[in-house]
Every structure is written in structure tokens, then in C-alpha cells.
């Protein structure tokens, strides 16, 4: 039982659930599509590929994690590096097979358009873990783009499916145009929220990253300058949240509860306050603040994603 629990921790099961939830909400609530076997396989494909990405990330991060979170270490402690390698290849191959089956079923000869994206994502996640995670900023951007891609993929899937039937595409032209604007908004929201969270996580792990020669933003610029960057990004994100209602009111009949918008507004204001406090007062253990903000950012993203439920095109 302990190993089963450790395996689910290794693949970050809450993050996988959020990935599946984002895709399903876009497909059902924004695209107004009914469940299909092909889309279900696409969701499974994304979940397994992302799970494999988490495993390979922990394999390459063994040395850093031994410093940053020795009590939570899984690779090399609960499972051997070889066992985790088997997990990675199994998850990745299953994910790609499901993606291939999904795209062939739904798109026929055009299956390669989506399948190529899944192959590219697999390669990017591997390259990120091996190389780009240690590079300045590019690693953070790759992770953020991967999350945004999970939001955008269902729209692309439906678009390519409809493009095979010109009459069907023409009949749903207004829906596709409006839904694209909404999906792009949520993709931007997911990208910015994830980017901020990734930088905050790097601030939390600055000691271990520094010792293993990772060139993250906090290692290169220091915590104070990184905090200022985070505050600027939080201001940008707050502006996005404040325009949330106006954005939807201009394009469709949305019944998003005001309370959800207000919660996100005040949460981002709280994050800015926390970081401004760490910059000015320099607390003895700022990593505790970073850890709390990192968790709250994940909750904020979940709240934002759940607002899709109330979209009524």
C-alpha cells in the first residue's frame, strides 16, 4: 500500500486530475460537445504523457530533491531509478498509443496533426527534465506552455474533426469563433498562473538548485529581484482577473458567480502582499511563505478552471 501511495505521489495525481478536468470542461462546457470514445482516449493520452513527464523529471532531479525535500524523496528511496525508468516508458507508450487510437478514430487521415503535437509534447517534457529545467526562464515557460496546451487541445481536436465536414464546420462557424476567444483566455490564464507558480517553486528550492548548478531565476538574480518579478506578474494576473467579467459579458451570456471572481481577486492581492512583505521585512524562513503561495496558486487556478462550468454559449 505504501508503494501504491508513493507511485501516485510520483505522478502528481492531483495535477493529473486538474489536467483531465480542464480538457473535459473545455470540451463539454465551451465546445458544447457530447462525450465520445475518441475524446476520452485523448484525455487518457494527455494524462499518461504528463504523468510520464513527472516521473522523468524526478529521475533527473534526484540530486536536487535529496537537498530540497529529503523526507519526500521517492526516486532512489521508495523506487529504484531503474523501476522509475520502467514507469516512465510504460506511461509514455500507453499515452502515445491512446493518442494514436484517438486521433485515427476522430480525424482519419488527418490524425497526424494532433498526434504530432502529442509526440512533440513528450519530447519537450523529456528535454525539459534533462536540460531546460536548469536553464534561465526557459524551463518555467515550457511547463506553463504545456499546461496552456492542455486547455487549447480540445478546441483544436474539435476544429480538425469539423474541418473534415465543410457543412458541419460552416454550421458551427459562430460557435468555433466565439469558443476560440474563450479558450485562448483560459489558456492565457493557465499559462500566467503556472508561470508564477513555477517561479515561486524555484524560490522555495533555491538552496538545492544552487548547489546542483541550476540556473533558475532565483539562483541567478537572487530572491529579492525574483520577488519583484513575481509581484509584477501578479499585477498582470490581477489585471486579467479584474477584466474577467467584462471579457465574458462582451462575447456571450455567462452566469459566472460573482463570488468566484471576487475570491480570485482577493487571493492575488494577498499573494502580492505576501511577496511585498518578504521583500521589505526579509523573514527568517521565507520558503514557508513561498510554499503557501505555491499551494494557493494551484487552488486559484482550479477556481478559475471551474468557472467554465457556468459558460452558456
Between CA 131 and CA 193 the distance in angstroms is 23
In this predicted structure, the answer to whether residue 275 has a pLDDT above a threshold of 90 is no
Mean pLDDT across the chain: 83
Q: Confirm if 204 and 287 have CB atoms less than 8 A apart.
A: yes
Phi, psi of 306 (to 5 degrees): -65, -20
Cell 504523457 identifies what position? 49
% the chain with pLDDT above 70:
85
What 3-state class would DSSP assign to 75? strand
Confidence band, pLDDT 50/70/90 cuts, at residue 261? low
- Distance, in Å, from the CA atom of 40 to the CA atom of 23, rounded to the nearest integer, reads 10
Place of cell 502529442: 118
pLDDT tens-place string over residues 29-63: 888 888 899 999 999 999 999 999 999 988 888 87
Partners of residue 79 on adjacent β-strands: 75
Residue 292 has pLDDT above 90, yes or no: no
Higher pLDDT residue, 46 or 271? 46
Select, from the ranges 77-91, 153-167, 237-251, the one with the highest average predicted confidence (pLDDT): 77-91
- Looking at per-residue pLDDT, the higher value among 87 and 298 belongs to 87
pLDDT tens across 205-255, in order?
Answer: 787 777 777 788 888 888 888 888 888 888 787 777 777 666 666 655 555
pLDDT band at 165; cut points 50, 70, 90 = confident
pLDDT at residue 166 is higher than 70? yes
> 68: helix, coil or strand?
helix
Dist CA 187 CA 152 (whole Å): 6
pLDDT of residue 94: 97
Record the cell numbers describing residue 219, joined without a space: 539562483
The cell numbers describing 61, all together, are 532531479
Of 28-32, 61-65, 73-77, 144-148, the range with the lowest mean pLDDT is 61-65
Cα angle vertex 117, ends 176, 74, to 5°? Answer: 120
Q: What is the pLDDT of residue 99?
A: 96
Q: What is the pLDDT of residue 161?
A: 86
- Looking at per-residue pLDDT, the higher value among 274 and 190 belongs to 190
- pLDDT band, residue 266 (cuts 50/70/90): low
Range 278-293 average pLDDT: 67
The helix (run of H) or strand (run of E) holding residue 253 is strand 253-254
Higher pLDDT, residue 158 or 207: 158
Can you say whether the dihedral through the CA atoms of 100, 114, 122, 294 is positive or negative? negative
Cell of 57: 523529471
Q: What is the DSSP letter of 79?
A: B
Q: 230 near 275, Cβ under 8 Å?
A: yes
Task: Compute the distance between CA of residue 300 and CA of residue 302 in angstroms, rounded to an integer.
Answer: 5
Task: Quick: pLDDT tens for 103-138.
Answer: 999 888 888 899 999 999 999 999 888 887 777 778
- The answer on pLDDT for 174 being more than 80 is no
Which of the four pLDDT bands, split at 50, 70 and 90, describes residue 73? confident
- Is the pLDDT confidence value at 197 over 60? yes
What is the sign, positive or negative, of the torsion defined by CA atoms of 81, 88, 186, 188? positive
DSSP letters spanning 25-78: HIIIIIS-PPP-HHHHHHHHHHHHHHHHHHHHHHHHTHHHHHHH-GGG--BTTT
pLDDT at position 62? 83
pLDDT of residue 251: 54
Amino acid at each position: 500500500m505504501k508503494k501504491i501511495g508513493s507511485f501516485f505521489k510520483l505522478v502528481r495525481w492531483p495535477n493529473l486530475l486538474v489536467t483531465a478536468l480542464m480538457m473535459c470542461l473545455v470540451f463539454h462546457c465551451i465546445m458544447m460537445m457530447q462525450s465520445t470514445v475518441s475524446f476520452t482516449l485523448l484525455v487518457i493520452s494527455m494524462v499518461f504523457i504528463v504523468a510520464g513527464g513527472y516521473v522523468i523529471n524526478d529521475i533527473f532531479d534526484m540530486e536536487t530533491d535529496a537537498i530540497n525535500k529529503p523526507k519526500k524523496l521517492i526516486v532512489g528511496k521508495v523506487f529504484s531509478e531503474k523501476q522509475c525508468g520502467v514507469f516512465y516508458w510504460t506511461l509514455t507508450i500507453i499515452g502515445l498509443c491512446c493518442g494514436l487510437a484517438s486521433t485515427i478514430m476522430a480525424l482519419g487521415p488527418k490524425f497526424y496533426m494532433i498526434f504530432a503535437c502529442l509526440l512533440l509534447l513528450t519530447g519537450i517534457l523529456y528535454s525539459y527534465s534533462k536540460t531546460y529545467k536548469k536553464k534561465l526562464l526557459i524551463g518555467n515557460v515550457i511547463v506553463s506552455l504545456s499546461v496552456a496546451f492542455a486547455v487549447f487541445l480540445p478546441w483544436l481536436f474539435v476544429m480538425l474533426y469539423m474541418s473534415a465536414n465543410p457543412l458541419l464546420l460552416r454550421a458551427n462557424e459562430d460557435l468555433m469563433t466565439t469558443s476560440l476567444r474563450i479558450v485562448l483566455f483560459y489558456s492565457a490564464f493557465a499559462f500566467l498562473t503556472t508561470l508564477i507558480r513555477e517561479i515561486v517553486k524555484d524560490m522555495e528550492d533555491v538552496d538545492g538548485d544552487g548547489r546542483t548548478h541550476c540556473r533558475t531565476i532565483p539562483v541567478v538574480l537572487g530572491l529579492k529581484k525574483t520577488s519583484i518579478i513575481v509581484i509584477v506578474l501578479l499585477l498582470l494576473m490581477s489585471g486579467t482577473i479584474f477584466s474577467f467579467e467584462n471579457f465574458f459579458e462582451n462575447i456571450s451570456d455567462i452566469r459566472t458567480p460573482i463570488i468566484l471572481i471576487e475570491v480570485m481577486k482577493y487571493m492575488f492581492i494577498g499573494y502580492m502582499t505576501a511577496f511585498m512583505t518578504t521583500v521589505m521585512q526579509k523573514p527568517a524562513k521565507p520558503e514557508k511563505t513561498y510554499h503557501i503561495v505555491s499551494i494557493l496558486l494551484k487552488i486559484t487556478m482550479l477556481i478559475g478552471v471551474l468557472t467554465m462550468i457556468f459558460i452558456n454559449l
